[in-house]
């Protein structure tokens, strides 16, 4: 065992240290396997004090620390570099629900709390924690905050940023920043917790959070709707907002090709329609009588917008529809590598983006396959592209760069963002400089320099 590992073991104890290569292996690879890293050890601190001691030890030795939650991130931000010198700091042992305060509609949890556990703790107290995404059984609250995660309920409740009332963060010099206040109004100088939301482990180690809770939104109605075009989905969203107000919890767009991958690669996954449609929307409302939703869908069918629709009769049917949606990433991973574009545009530009994106891809390479799906309710699409499988690696990367740049330029022209919810990590560093260069990026780097001058927190990520 290295001297560093021995010193770390004195802090976290033998069951808080992992040096076994086999145990480390799954922590060294990004979820899709597109990035690999090396590390000699992983620490799993059991308390904030232990995190402080680990950070101080690494700071003294100028050793890089890679905070890791569930390692479900999509930008290789949670895996170490290839040097083997960085320490993985897993928050998995700091997973307690510290307290739930139903009267204040808040709860305090530790960063290693699995998202699904936080959802369950809220509902056990008669409250609702709305952050929800396909990885919720594995991802952790700390990772959700560090990536400013989005998911399927952003349209009504916002991203992780909107759900955080307070944070406890260990800074690069071992200082504990405690802003664990459960207040909706707290305006005393700068709102410093905001710096760490979406910071991807590069500004501080999140050890706990106070989260906003909501009252149970009431009866859920879930429908899978068949449409003739993606543009029709944008029209349907407008019609539903007009008809049902802001009680639309989720509005997910999926192309036929994507659901085709799910039916092909995911066991017991099949669409509840006799014939395929070019596009689908999986939508969910809460607190809306099923009849009201049905009436809107019937009216839009009569208008020729909705081709077909299935309204889940019960929770089991609703869960089966959501399983189709949440299986997309796995189906896409099995199908093979794709150029992933997690982009957002203003809702009013979504139809233009979809139409010009299709035209763009057709001119770049007619043999491309578009794998498009995502949270169109908040203007966020996963506009992924599959290149011909017989391309050499060099050609794949060269052509991929051209295609990705063209898509991101279109998004930028439409006032959108090239990174809607997954963050930057290693995967999109070069694009950050291109689309956020100048005063915005300069200020980001000033903040990084001020908070982590020795660059020990997740070195090589974001910048
Ligand atoms: P990790 O992957 O472990 O880490 C992510 C980043 O956070 C890294 O930079 C890491 O260093 C940092 N970090 C982790 N913990 C801490 C901490 N305690 N303090 C400081 N930094 C920390 N994302 C979405 O936004 N929306 C989706 O709909 C969505 N769906 C997904 C579906 C699937 C099937 C999968 C596999 C992923 C999906 N993701 C989605 C991506 C991913 O789940 C989210 O980014 C999630 O928030 C990552 O959480 P994690 O705990 O796995 O973080
Ligand atoms: C999703 O919306 O399913 C996720 O963001 C994951 C992905 O993009 O693959
Ligand atoms: Zn997503």
N residues, the chain: 463
Residue 201 CA to ligand 1 center (angstroms) comes to: 11
Identify the pLDDT of residue 1. 73
Q: Which ligand is nearest to the CA of 154?
A: 1
- Ligand 2 neighbour 73 (Cβ under 6 A): no
Residue 216 CA to ligand 3 center (angstroms) comes to: 24
> From atom 36 of ligand 1, which residue's Cα is the shortest distance away?
72
Say if residues 223 and 237 touch (Cβ distance below 8 Å): no
**Distance, CA of 143 to CA of 153 (rounded, Å):** 17
Which atom in ligand 1 lies closest to the alpha carbon of residue 74?
41
Which atom in ligand 1 lies closest to the alpha carbon of residue 421?
25
Identify the pLDDT of residue 245. 87
Within 8 A by CB and 6+ apart from 101, the residues are 107, 108, 182
> From atom 6 of ligand 1, which residue's Cα is the shortest distance away?
200
From the list 362, 364, 342, the residue with the least C-alpha distance to 416 is 342
CA angle 264, 267, 273 (to 5 degrees): 65
Which atom in ligand 2 lies closest to the alpha carbon of residue 422?
5
Residue 454 CA to ligand 3 center (angstroms) comes to: 33
Residue 359: other Cβ atoms inside 10 A: 11
Low-confidence ranges of the chain (pLDDT < 50): none
Residue 72 CA to ligand 1 center (angstroms) comes to: 5
Which atom in ligand 1 lies closest to the alpha carbon of residue 326?
34
**Distance, CA of 426 to CA of 463 (rounded, Å):** 8
Q: pTM score, two decimals? A: 0.98
- Ligand 1 neighbour 118 (Cβ under 6 A): no
Residue 375 CA to ligand 3 center (angstroms) comes to: 6
Q: Which ligand is nearest to the CA of 383?
A: 2
pLDDT in tens, 265-314: 999 999 999 999 999 999 999 999 999 999 999 999 999 999 999 999 99
- Ligand 2 neighbour 357 (Cβ under 6 A): no
Say if residues 38 and 28 touch (Cβ distance below 8 Å): yes
Q: Which ligand is nearest to the CA of 80?
A: 1
- Ligand 2 neighbour 328 (Cβ under 6 A): yes
Nearest 5°: phi and psi at 89? -110, 100
* Integer CA distances (angstroms), 297 to 143, 185, 233, 311, 401, in order: 37, 40, 12, 10, 41
Burial environment of residue 43 by CB neighbours within 10 A (0 to 12, 13 to 18, 19 or more): buried
Residue 148 CA to ligand 1 center (angstroms) comes to: 8
Identify the pLDDT of residue 246. 85
**Distance, CA of 42 to CA of 69 (rounded, Å):** 12
- Ligand 2 neighbour 253 (Cβ under 6 A): no
Residue 8 CA to ligand 1 center (angstroms) comes to: 25
- Ligand 2 neighbour 374 (Cβ under 6 A): yes
Residue 374 CA to ligand 2 center (angstroms) comes to: 7
Q: Which ligand is nearest to the CA of 33?
A: 1
Within 8 A by CB and 6+ apart from 154, the residues are 375, 377, 378, 380, 421
Q: Which ligand is nearest to the CA of 135?
A: 1
Q: Which ligand is nearest to the CA of 340?
A: 2
**Distance, CA of 94 to CA of 233 (rounded, Å):** 42
pLDDT in tens, 194-226: 999 999 999 999 999 999 999 999 899 999 999
**Distance, CA of 255 to CA of 371 (rounded, Å):** 7
- Ligand 1 neighbour 160 (Cβ under 6 A): no
- Ligand 1 neighbour 451 (Cβ under 6 A): no
């Amino acid at each position: 065992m290295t001297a560093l590992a021995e010193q770390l073991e004195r802090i976290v104890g033998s069951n808080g240290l992992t040096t076994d290569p086999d145990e480390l292996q799954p922590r060294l690879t990004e979820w899709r396997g597109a990035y690999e890293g090396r590390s000699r050890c992983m620490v799993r601190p059991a308390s904030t004090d232990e995190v402080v001691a680990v950070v101080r030890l690494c700071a003294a030795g100028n050793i890089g620390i890679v905070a890791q939650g569930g390692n479900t991130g999509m930008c290789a931000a949670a895996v170490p570099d290839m040097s083997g010198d960085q320490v993985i700091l897993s928050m998995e042992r700091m997973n307690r629900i510290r307290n739930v305060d139903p009267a204040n509609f808040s709860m305090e949890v530790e960063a290693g709390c699995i998202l699904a556990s936080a959802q369950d703790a809220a509902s056990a107290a008669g409250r609702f924690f709305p952050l929800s995404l396909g990885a919720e059984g594995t991802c952790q609250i700390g990772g959700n905050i560090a990536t400013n995660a989005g998911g399927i309920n952003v349209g009504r409740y916002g991203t992780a940023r909107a759900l955080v009332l307070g944070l406890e963060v260990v800074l690069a010099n071992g200082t504990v920043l405690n802003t664990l206040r459960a207040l909706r109004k707290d305006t005393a100088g700068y709102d410093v917790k905001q710096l760490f939301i979406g910071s991807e482990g590069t500004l501080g180690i999140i050890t706990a959070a106070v989260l906003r809770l909501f009252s149970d939104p009431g009866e859920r109605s879930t429908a899978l709707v068949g449409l003739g075009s993606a543009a029709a989905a944008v029209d349907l969203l407008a019609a539903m907002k007009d008809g049902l107000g802001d009680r639309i919890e989720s509005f997910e767009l999926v192309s036929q090709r994507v659901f085709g991958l799910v039916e092909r690669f995911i066991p017991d996954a099949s669409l509840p329609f006799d014939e395929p449609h070019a596009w689908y929307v999986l939508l969910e409302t809460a607190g809306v009588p099923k009849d009201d939703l049905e009436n809107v869908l019937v009216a839009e069918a009569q208008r020729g917008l909705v081709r077909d629709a299935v309204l889940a009769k019960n929770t089991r049917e609703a869960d089966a529809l959501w399983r189709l949606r949440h299986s997309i990433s796995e189906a896409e991973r099995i199908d093979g590598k794709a150029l992933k574009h997690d982009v957002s545009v203003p809702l009013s530009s979504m139809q233009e983006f979809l139409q010009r994106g299709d035209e763009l891809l057709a001119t770049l390479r007619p043999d491309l396959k578009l794998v498009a799906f995502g949270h169109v309710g908040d203007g966020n699409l996963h506009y992924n592209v599959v290149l011909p499988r017989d391309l050499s690696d060099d050609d794949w990367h060269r052509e991929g760069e051209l295609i990705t740049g063209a898509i991101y330029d279109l998004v930028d022209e439409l006032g959108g963002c090239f990174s809607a919810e997954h963050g930057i990590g290693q995967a999109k560093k070069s694009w950050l400089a291109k689309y956020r260069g100048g005063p915005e990026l300069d200020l980001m780097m000033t903040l990084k320099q001020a908070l982590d001058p020795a660059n020990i927190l997740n070195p090589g990520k974001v910048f």
